[in-house]
Amino acid sequence: MLEAHSNGAVGVEVIAPGGSRRFVLIEETPFLIGRSGETAKHLQLKDPRISRQCAAIVCDGERYFLEDRGQRHGIFVNGEKVARRELQDGDLISFGVENFYELVFQSALHDTTSIPELLSRIENISSSDAPQGGLQKLNLLLEATTLLHSRLPLEAVLGTMLDHAVSVTDADRGYLLEPRAGGPLHVSLARGRGGTRLSSTESAPSQTALQQAIDQQKSIITEDLAQGGGSLQAAESIIAQRLRAVVVIPLYATTRASSSDSAVHHKRGEFLGVVYLDSRRPAAFSKLDRRILDALGVEAASIIDNARLVERERERERMEQQLAIARDIQQALLPRGLRDFPHAGIAGINLPCLTVGGDYFDFFPLGEGRTAFIIADVSGKGLGAALLTTMLQGALSGIRIGIEPARVFENINYFLCEHEELARYATMFLGILGRDGQFEFINAGHPSPFLLRRGEIDEPFTDGSYPVGLMPGAEYASSRVKLQAGDTLVLFSDGVTEAMDPDDNLYGGPRLREVLGDLHEATLDHVQKTVLASIKSFTRGAAQADDITLLLVRYRA
């Protein structure tokens, strides 16, 4: 039976393989997830690698559960394979398939939760086990938690957290230390009372006390040297600083195993760092309840953990912006749509399978009524290949200023072979069409374009040499043929012929021939649309695995 939910917003954030995100509200349960149709009416992930009926999120009133409903590769929550699992806010749901959609379950949506509501909620959780005297101080800390929801700089959030820790414990100084990859702890923040920044000339935290807390994996309080352990008494830095009291709280990421009631169990996770507090007043921390330190540790760890998530998310956003810029530049470098030259019509389209791609095409007029056109396919795909397409385009533009095309090919080959650490090469086809139908071409390992001539289809442009960037010293030469009025050339990248359906069958050259069979008199625009539609219907929604480029040239005489 379906049940409508009006209490609070719950949903999943859908992260696509390319990194784009969208949010889907869970408005009724069971919330059905899968490939298609009735069995996945709430969230369809159109990809052949998952089952038609895949998983469902169900609700028993308060709690939400994820159920495997037949995903062939299994259903995973935070990397753990599950048949049925209660979902917590922030849980990551995946489907056992690489480079695939992931879902983040969200039960406490930030924009629908007011700060007072959040505060009171956390306060309720804490009140059952926090001592009376600690409650108010603990509340100070809770404020810091809410800061996460604002767009403050990360350092300010962590700084506020540390200030609260200093305030809660009535310490003189507070340090946040985080582990460097494979190295020792380093001080990421240092604050004095009232939020003052400590200068770098301040003496560093006691390494001995830090090490002791890390070794014991729990917070330690050392009242003064006389009461400390043997190793602490010997520690020179403590003596040098004449410190009287130190608190060290190691921080661990926590996974809430069960939050159905107030008995929240924290499983110890990744070591995040240490909050270090000290005071010159004797016995400054003697009244501190250990439970306050524990609560401090949990809250601080959760803030750092969340802050890192926020930081990663911002980094991802930055990367996405950069990619969007790269895409805009790459598309802007392509000639636009359909173009008429006096003796020829040209139409081209480029559909990268990722944001940017390793295919490109270009065309431009040369002197004496000649028109040049190019299709190129750099090995690999994505940003790496895309960077090289712009290089190719720049180099090939040399043809415009009269450089012999074959020399340009040889120069590109030289350049790519010289930089062999690029480990990239490209197949290219260049054509130059004169007003009289003289057609000069250079083929560098590219599939021969199809020639459509009065209903016949041929692949006559196979003469040529290696792809550029594979064979040092390779030579390139132009071949010449004569085109007839009405001839249509179909240039394509292998993303067309190697487009795959959900069962990994290839679209293939024969199918392309068949589609082009009766299109020799159709407009170029129509030819383009027909081929793309044919690929689309063949692949039946399977993810595009390679860049697709199609360039059509018709000689009119």
Partner 1 sequence: MALQMTEKVVDGVTVIALDGRIVLGDETNAFREKIKSLIAEGRTKILLNLDNVTLIDSTGLGTLVSTHHSAAARGAFVRLCKLGTKFQEVLQVTKLLTVFDVSDTEADGIKSFSK
Residues that bind partner 1 (CB under 8 A): 377, 379-380, 420, 423-425, 427, 445-448, 462, 464-467, 470-471, 494
Minimum gap (Å) between residue 414 Cβ and partner 1: 15
Minimum gap (Å) between residue 483 Cβ and partner 1: 22
Taking the C-alpha atoms of residue 431 and residue 405, their distance in angstroms, rounded to an integer, is 10
Which CB, 175 or 461, lies closer to partner 1?
461
Q: 301 φ, ψ to 5°?
A: -65, -40
With beta carbons less than 8 A apart as the criterion, state whether 371 and 400 touch. no
Which CB, 487 or 494, lies closer to partner 1?
494
With beta carbons less than 8 A apart as the criterion, state whether 330 and 381 touch. no
Minimum gap (Å) between residue 92 Cβ and partner 1: 23
Taking the C-alpha atoms of residue 16 and residue 26, their distance in angstroms, rounded to an integer, is 18
Taking the C-alpha atoms of residue 415 and residue 420, their distance in angstroms, rounded to an integer, is 9
Which CB, 35 or 446, lies closer to partner 1?
446
DSSP state of 445: B
Instruction: Indicate the residue type of 547.
Output: D
Which CB, 124 or 462, lies closer to partner 1?
462
Minimum gap (Å) between residue 374 Cβ and partner 1: 17
Which CB, 152 or 471, lies closer to partner 1?
471
Minimum gap (Å) between residue 488 Cβ and partner 1: 21
The 185-192 sheet, strands edge to edge:
185-192, 173-179, 266-279, 245-256, 220-222
Which CB, 16 or 423, lies closer to partner 1?
423
Which CB, 216 or 462, lies closer to partner 1?
462
Token pair listed for 53: 């009926």
Minimum gap (Å) between residue 183 Cβ and partner 1: 28
Residues 6 or more apart whose CB falls under 8 angstroms from that of 423 comprise none
Minimum gap (Å) between residue 541 Cβ and partner 1: 21
Place of tokens 């020179």: 236
Q: 331 φ, ψ to 5°?
A: -70, -35
Which CB, 337 or 472, lies closer to partner 1?
472
Place of tokens 């820790």: 165
Which CB, 228 or 380, lies closer to partner 1?
380
The Cα-based distances of 546 to 91, 385, 446 in angstroms read 32, 12, 15
Which CB, 45 or 444, lies closer to partner 1?
444
Residues 6 or more apart whose CB falls under 8 angstroms from that of 430 comprise 372, 373, 374, 396, 399, 405, 409, 441, 442
Minimum gap (Å) between residue 307 Cβ and partner 1: 32
Minimum gap (Å) between residue 385 Cβ and partner 1: 9
Taking the C-alpha atoms of residue 44 and residue 40, their distance in angstroms, rounded to an integer, is 6
Which CB, 205 or 358, lies closer to partner 1?
358
H helices of 271-363, where? 290-333
**If DSSP codes are grouped into helix, strand and coil, which group holds residue 286?**
coil
Token pair listed for 314: 């911002």
Strand ranges for 166-320 from DSSP E: 173-179, 185-192, 220-222, 245-256, 266-279
DSSP state of 368: T
Minimum gap (Å) between residue 47 Cβ and partner 1: 18
Minimum gap (Å) between residue 347 Cβ and partner 1: 24
Token pair listed for 179: 């582990």
Nearest Cα to 93, choosing from 179, 30, 13, 163?
13
Minimum gap (Å) between residue 164 Cβ and partner 1: 46
Helix axes 524-539, 509-516, angle to 10 degrees: 140
Which CB, 364 or 415, lies closer to partner 1?
415
Euclidean distance between the first and final Cα of the chain, in Å?
69
